[in-house]
Chain A
């Protein structure tokens, strides 16, 4: 772990975000249709007059060439200004601050569910490979990987909300609203974690220090729990960090299914509304979140296992 590494990582991030935002602006330029007309039509409920369209375009700088709009956006960004939403004149950063907690709660819920499932099942199936629990958990994990989370969401709504009436169907706010979305998001994560934990635990259980512990007459539960698990948790930590991309994209779909007003629904709505400042804002935030969590995971990895030099050449 070195400062050079952190610097490299941060500069790569900055370049990536620049490229992604530039690509988005490039796509906006070639996208068919005029956002001004669409936005005004939606807000007014009737076709706008050409006067209204012109005012809107002038207000939001849409008459400038696209590269100029982009530079303008970058300049504002450097001053901490993400621009204003095309609808209701709301500032984009305010909107993001409003929606971020909804998504963070979902992500935390999903991760909690996934770890609560993957830790015990992973340990159980690694401790008795080819046993009943192992076969069962592997089959379920496989299903979890193959399951589209939007379908799983509707299955859960059907069973728990519509048939059993246990949970609220849509929306957000209370803890009860968080249960089904967390399970939906957590299932796919848990499947990957279980498979990985089982594989790495199997590897460590074959390692010499574990055999040594066994030969010393330590009980199997102690061997698995203390010696092997400690070494298997490290890869699990990395995977949980790497899964953030999966969490973010999963959150988009899960939020749409459960109609939660988070970043995901905001992004999808903004795309269909041609609300480009909001699209740019959410994309930027997603990129920043993604990179920060990955960097923190790397740092944590180095702390947990000092043998690993994360500053080394990435393969």
Chain B
């Protein structure tokens, strides 16, 4: 990664931008990018484009099947399922992006500091990461979020806390190899302050694998958030979160199939998008599979 960034300018063959562009020409990666873009637009603009209130009850049309007025049917309180799924994108995707962002910042921060400092700082940080890997993450998140009290905020915190270890491990091992490169040594010897050496010379060259990791992680976190909400630990009714919607729709499996299947489809599509995009980016940016290192 770092080698190619050094030798090739933006857009020239072998550079990072060029590789990403080539990856996007692969049909699977392009499909992933398209899905991710669509879901993002729905999460950002959906509620404005579809003004139907996801909380508005209409007891005269309870458990109504899909119809022109309600394309995805209505739930047990007569609420429009389409509106709920569209508004729910904000919660499901928003939480996933927030969790991934916290993991990314925390993991990259710890990984860079540990790898660049070495010594006892490194030892301490990595032993702490070992601790995280010695326990099944989702179960830990479940206990943390559950005992702290069911809420989306606690799910966010719990998932962020248990999941940054992979980033730290990958970044640290990248830093260890970049640290000894000539251009870093040159910057250091010419008297550049330490924080500038790290920020300008080390950091940009270790981010490649973590970006791939983050793309794949968003999908995983969407699943985890929906799973915890399904168990009743995350978003609480009447919040239109996808996992919560499946949890309350499961009692109507026989009579109203759309209640479980519409949010289920939304989850699958979102996760699929991020997985396809992440896989494509990995082939382009991380052909040696370093992102698997911490798993």
Interface residues, chain A, with chain B CB atoms under 8 Å away: 12-13, 15-16, 19-20, 23-24, 27-28, 30-32, 142-143, 145-151, 154-155, 157-158, 162, 242, 244-246, 248-249, 252-253, 256-257, 267-268, 271-272, 276, 279, 283, 286-287, 290-291, 314-315
Contact = CB atoms under 8 A, between A and B. Distances in A.
Contact of B140 (A20, A147, A148): A20
Given A148-B230, A248-B136, A286-B139, 8 more contacts: A27-B148, A146-B272, A148-B268, A150-B243, A267-B142, A268-B146, A283-B140, A315-B293
A39 B136 CA distance: 29
B264 A151 contact: yes
Given A245-B139, A248-B139, A32 B147 contact: no
B142 A150 contact: no
Listed from nearest, the 10 A-B pairs whose CB atoms lie closest are A151-B264, A249-B138, A245-B136, A271-B146, A146-B271, A16-B134, A27-B147, A146-B272, A248-B136, A150-B230
Interface in B126-142: 127, 130-131, 134-140, 142
A244 B169 CA distance: 21
A291 B173 CA distance: 24
Contacts of B147: 24, 27-28, 31, 271, 276, 279
Contacts of A28: 147
Interface residues on B, range: 35 or more
B131 A16 contact: yes
A23 B268 contact: no
Interface in B248-266: 250, 253-254, 257, 260-261, 264
Interface stretch (B3-11, B101-109, B196-204, B219-227): B219-227
B130 A12 contact: yes
Contact of B139 (A145, A242, A249, A314): A249
Contact of A287 (B135, B144, B233, B269): B135
Contact of B143 (A24, A142, A149, A256): A24
Contacts of A257: 250
Contacts of B173: 315
Contacts of A268: 142, 146, 231-232
A298 to B, nearest CB: 13
Contact of A148 (B169, B223, B275): B223
Interface string B136-160: 1111101110111100000000000
A183 to B, nearest CB: 16
B72 to A, nearest CB: 15
Contact of A253 (B135, B219, B227, B253): B227
Given A148-B268, A154-B253, A271-B233, A12 B134 contact: yes
Contacts of A253: 227, 230-231
Nearest to B260: A154
18 contacts: A24-B147, A145-B271, A148-B227, A148-B230, A148-B271, A151-B264, A151-B267, A151-B268, A157-B253, A245-B137, A246-B136, A249-B137, A249-B227, A256-B230, A267-B142, A286-B139, A287-B135, A291-B134
Contacts of B134: 12-13, 16, 287, 290-291
B139 A150 contact: no
B286 to A, nearest CB: 14
Contacts of B275: 142, 145-146
B269 to A, nearest CB: 8
Contacts of B261: 151, 155
B195 interface: no
A158 B227 contact: no
A4 to B, nearest CB: 16
B268 A143 contact: yes
A148 B250 CA distance: 14
A155 B267 CA distance: 14
Contact of B144 (A23, A155, A248): A23
Contacts of B135: 16, 20, 286-287, 290
Contact of B254 (A150, A162, A256): A162
A291 B261 CA distance: 36
A75 to B, nearest CB: 22
A150 B272 contact: no
Given A12-B130, A291-B134, A249 B144 contact: no
B246 interface: yes
B241 to A, nearest CB: 13
Contact of B250 (A143, A154, A252, A315): A154
A246 B230 CA distance: 17
Contacts of B114: none
B126 to A, nearest CB: 9
Given A24-B143, A151-B264, A290-B134, A158 B246 contact: no
A314 B169 CA distance: 10
B246 A151 contact: yes
A230 to B, nearest CB: 22
A267 B144 CA distance: 12
A256 B232 CA distance: 11
B83 to A, nearest CB: 20
Contacts of B267: 146, 148, 151
Nearest to B250: A154
Contacts of B136: 244-246, 248-249, 286-287, 290
